[in-house]
Structure 1
Amino acid sequence: MEFHKATEEDVNSIMNIIRQAQDYFKEQGINQWQDNYPNSEIVKNDIKNKNGYVLLKNNIIVGTVVVSFDGEKNYEYVYGGKWVSSGAYAVIHRIAIDSNNKGLGLSSIIIKNIEKICLNKEVHSIKIDTHKENISMQNMLVKNGFKYCGLIYLENKSERVAFEKSL
């Protein structure tokens, strides 16, 4: 397994994985990642900002994620709970695994790689949010040591469940 920053050449593979996730959410009746989000422009912007990463298995992209250390304005207020910490943190967005590779623990491998990046930057907190109906993501987060912190709201007023892990 190899985990590294995504490049412009990775956009098509990343978008293929994202489309698989969008189809899965639609099939499950989960209103997450619908309405042309995320799209290739967002992915290209993630790469340009050096926040996009890919996980490779046998030189094939099998996972994608965005990691940012720039904060998240939607995380200013947590409803029905509170963040574990108040210091510097990484934010995980748009984590997805290729459909043919689900159930192999690849999301956990991505999380472990993000933890290493954080510790190298002396950042000891990771925050993430997901749709309240995305139970598989919530289970993966809990399995990897994330704690439920409450609810946050996106700019479009969509509700998301928020999690944090201290390192």
Structure 2
Amino acid sequence: MEFRKSVKSDIPEIMGIIKQAQDYFKEKNIDQWQNGYPNEEVINNDIENEESYVMIKDDKIVATTVISFKEESCYENIIDGKWLTNGDYGVIHRIAVGKNYKGLGLSHKIIKYAEKICLEKGVPSIKVDTHEDNIPMQGLLKKNGFEYCGIVYLEDGGKRVAFEKNFGTEV
């Protein structure tokens, strides 16, 4: 399996995987990604910002994510808890795996890849937020050493549970 930065010609395949994730959330009654987000404009911006990545298996895109190093304004106000660190951090957004590739540990590989990029950049932690009903994602984060930190609210008012993994060395 190979990771690479996404390019604009990947957008149709990325959107296909996002649509599968939206359908999965709807089927599981998880009110995440049910309002037309993320859409092609969002994915296009991710690519232009060089934050979008795809996972390739057998010459096919099988998963997508965003790994960002921009500060998240909604992370400034965390409720009922606190972040593990206050310094630089990476953020993982929009992990989605194609439905035919679920159960193969690809989300775990995405997180490990994000950690590798953080370490290469000298960034000591990763922060992630997810919907409170997205129990599979919360389990994935916990299995990968992330700690629950509290609640954050997105710009649109959406409530999210927040997690962070600290690599143990402040840079």
TM over 0.5: yes
- Give me the whole-angstrom Cα distance separating, in 1, the residues matched to 2:98 and 2:121: 29
Q: Does 1:155 align with 2:155?
A: yes
Deviation at 1:74, TM superposition (A): 0.5
Deviation at 1:157, TM superposition (A): 1.4
TM-score (norm. length: structure 1)? 0.98
Q: Secondary structure at the match of 1:36?
A: coil
- Give me the whole-angstrom Cα distance separating, in 2, the residues matched to 1:156 and 1:69: 21
- Give me the whole-angstrom Cα distance separating, in 1, the residues matched to 2:119 and 2:22: 32
TM-score (norm. length: structure 2)? 0.96
2:31 paired residue number: 31
AA aligned to 2:102 is K
**Structure 1, residues 11-35: CA drift from partner, whole Å, max 9, x if none?**
0110000000001111111110011
2:122 paired residue number: 122
2:88 paired residue number: 88
Q: Does 1:145 align with 2:145?
A: yes
Unaligned runs of 5+ in 2: none
Deviation at 1:147, TM superposition (A): 0.4
Deviation at 1:9, TM superposition (A): 1.1
AA aligned to 1:96 is A
Deviation at 1:6, TM superposition (A): 0.5
Deviation at 1:58, TM superposition (A): 1.4
AA aligned to 2:67 is V
1:101 paired residue number: 101
- Give me the whole-angstrom Cα distance separating, in 2, the residues matched to 1:70 and 1:150: 20
1:3-82 alignment, distance < 5 Å = 3-82=3-82
Unaligned runs of 5+ in 1: none
- Give me the whole-angstrom Cα distance separating, in 1, the residues matched to 2:157 and 2:10: 32
**Structure 1, residues 34-53: CA drift from partner, whole Å, max 9, x if none?**
11100011101100110000
Q: Does 1:136 align with 2:136?
A: yes
Identical residues among aligned pairs (%): 57
How many residues get paired?
167
**Structure 1, residues 88-145: CA drift from partner, whole Å, max 9, x if none?**
0001111110011111100010111111111110001000000000000000000011
Runs of 4+ in 1 over 6 A off after TM superposition: none
- Give me the whole-angstrom Cα distance separating, in 2, the residues matched to 1:92 and 1:114: 7
